[in-house]
Amino acid sequence: MADREDDLDGVPRYWDTFLDTRQRSSSLQDARVVLIPVPYDSTTSYKTGARHGPKAIVTASRQLEDYDLELDRDISEVGIYTTAEIEPDVSGPEAMVRRTARVVRSFAAARKLIGVLGGEHTVTIGAVQALREFHADLSVLYLDAHADLRDEYMGSGWGHASVARRLHGVAPLVQVGVRSLSAGELAFIREESLPVLFWPPATEDMDKVSSWALSNLSEHVYVSVDLDVFDPSIMAAVGTPEPGGMGWDQVTGLLKAVSETRRIVGFDVTELSPAEGPEACAFTAAKLTYKLIGYATEGAKS
């Protein structure tokens, strides 16, 4: 857990930030990582509540140890700045995409590693649009139980079921963990020859899975994690759970492999719906966020 810092009067405070880190005037300038909470879930079609995900992740992160055993370092030393939450724009998901892009763009211009805490998966579109302006070769590693390739769903082309379809026109996608999709989405995958690894894969060898993903990823990578990519046995707190998902070691092993040979310039952790599962799910989401920061800032590729 983070060492508590006192205010000037010597009284401990809860700072309501990731790792409960005190925000000083110099924190943003010195931080290598900026986390942006986006409590938005207006297009949710089954279980609502992802709007409470960012807050739950931040609260759970108080219980994380700064030191990471796997990486043998205190990841927080890179500097992690947590912004204020982005207020939802309820006029429509496309407006929210624009708002998210505007915020991400401002921090990307300062060459920060951007981490977006959702909220529903729609927020990913804005983040990728913004980062694509700074990295012409940007590709997206998209971990999700669902294909999200519908051109339109429930009257909108900008909802959670169309995220990957909208990204398809922005940056190359590599999808892993998909195990639920429509016939139309499958036809689109085949027509466009999209790199999609359905789950479970034909091989249990995660080194081969990682090699396949890497062969389709560019130098600069954005990682998008819809938490329903995990099996519900370890991540029940999502709005659209699907059985037969990935395990913790499979997800983190893939992310680490990507970080070792690619540069992760941004990421998101989305779709945590705290009321739908035990509190342990929020801690798992916070731990995954911290792992992503660690992998992305590890070694020469960071």
Provide DSSP, 23-57: --TTHHHH-SEEEEEE---TT-SS---GGGHHHHH
The answer as to whether 12 is a domain residue is no
pLDDT at residue 301 above 70?
no
Q: pLDDT per residue over 226-261, tens digit each?
A: 999 999 999 999 999 999 999 999 999 999 999 999
pLDDT at residue 25 above 70?
no
CB 33 within 8 A of CB 112: yes
How would residue 300 be classed by pLDDT, with cut points 50, 70 and 90?
very low
CB 230 within 8 A of CB 215: no
Q: pLDDT per residue over 122-151, tens digit each?
A: 999 999 999 999 999 999 999 999 999 999
The rounded distance, in Å, linking the Cα atoms of 241 and 246 is 12
Q: pLDDT per residue over 36-81, tens digit each?
A: 999 999 777 677 889 999 999 999 999 999 999 999 999 999 999 9
pLDDT at residue 298 above 90?
yes
Here the CATH number for the domain that contains residue 250 is 3.40.800.10
The rounded distance, in Å, linking the Cα atoms of 78 and 295 is 12
Q: Out of 11-15, 182-186, 197-201, which region has the weakest mean confidence (pLDDT)? A: 11-15
Which domain, by its residues, includes 194? 18-296
The answer as to whether 7 is a domain residue is no
The answer as to whether 175 is a domain residue is yes
The answer as to whether 301 is a domain residue is no
The answer as to whether 146 is a domain residue is yes
The answer as to whether 10 is a domain residue is no
Q: pLDDT per residue over 66-78, tens digit each?
A: 999 999 999 999 9
Span 84-105, average pLDDT: 94
- Structural domain count, the chain: 1
Please report the sign of the dihedral spanned by the C-alpha atoms of residue 169, residue 171, residue 174, residue 179. Answer: negative
